[in-house]
Structure 1
Amino acid sequence: MQDKPLHRCDLIRFFNTTERGLPRILRELDLRLVGGTTRWSVVWRTLGLKEDQDPVEIDDLREPLLRAADVASLLGVSTSIIYRWEKGKLPKGQKPFPNSIDLSNGRRNSRAKRWRKAELLAWHTGKPIPRYAKAAPAFGALIPNK
């Protein structure tokens, strides 16, 4: 079932945070728990993704997000290199590093960044990075230039 309820412990595991850090992430993402739960579709929407995802990619989207330290150990480099790569300072000839997921709502110098394991493994092995369905902007909304 794609849209099962998520409890606080599920969100702590997914966002790779602590019990103490979860309220800040929920506040920054404007994610409200109703009756102590939320649904995958709501979490994906707050992260800028479409609620209805391709069934093939659902397992990748449900995987816990990785912190910079987790990414560094996965790729065998230091965390400072991960943040450098995230800013676009890659070795010559290297493909662009997968985009991070900002859980701080754009705060400067925030280290509340996470990555998806499937994207990192695809990048590391030279395969195409998975692209997930993005949410359509609300009618009449201004679309930022990126």
Structure 2
Amino acid sequence: MEVPVVRRVTASVVGVIVGLAATWLIVVAVQGRPTPDTVWGPRPPTPAAHQTVFGVVSLMWSAGCEGGQVIAEEPGVHEVGVCTIDGHEVAAAVFADEGERDEWVSHMAGIGSVTATGSRWAVAGDEAAGVEAFAAAVPR
């Protein structure tokens, strides 16, 4: 009767050791990988190798916008969407670089929109209240 008990205990101990060894191997393998940077910007046309890029849909969601939808997109360059925040319709956009953003902001200001900017993103609207609410709500 003792032999089956010893076999079960031995099998359990071996199972635990194998499980710990497998866990250790996974931890060692993951530690060598670089931590991705998180940035706002248009989604690249191919998967990002060393950074996570959040597009305009994520930007609008993070600001608490309702009814967000993409209205213009050039993969890897820019994305533009519209949504409603606190009852105000705004246009939000993400860009590959600050120069693209500044051009868009200049154009939007030229047609009478109120604008606000962040790192590789911008928002524009007809009323300052919506633009300010959006800019204040975007995580930094």
Query: Which structure has more helix as a fraction of its residues?
Result: 2
Shorter chain as denominator, the TM-score bin is under 0.3
Query: Which structure has more strand as a fraction of its residues?
Result: 2
* TM-score normalised by length of structure 1: 0.27
Larger radius of gyration between Structure 1 and Structure 2: 2
By relative contact order (CA 8 Å, sep 6+), the higher-ranking structure is: 1
